[in-house]
Amino acid sequence: MKKNRLSDNSRKALMINIGESAGKEVADLIAQMAAEIEELRQTKVSVTRIVPGVHDSVAMIEEPV
Tens digit of each residue's pLDDT (9 = 90 or more) over 10-61: 989 988 999 999 999 999 999 999 999 999 888 887 777 777 766 655 555 5
Give residue 1's pLDDT. 44
Give residue 18's pLDDT. 93
Burial 18-33 (b: 16+ CB within 10 A, else e): eeeeebeebbeebeee
Residue with the bigger pLDDT between 4 and 62: it is 4
| Separation between Cα atoms, residue 37 and residue 49, nearest integer Å | 25
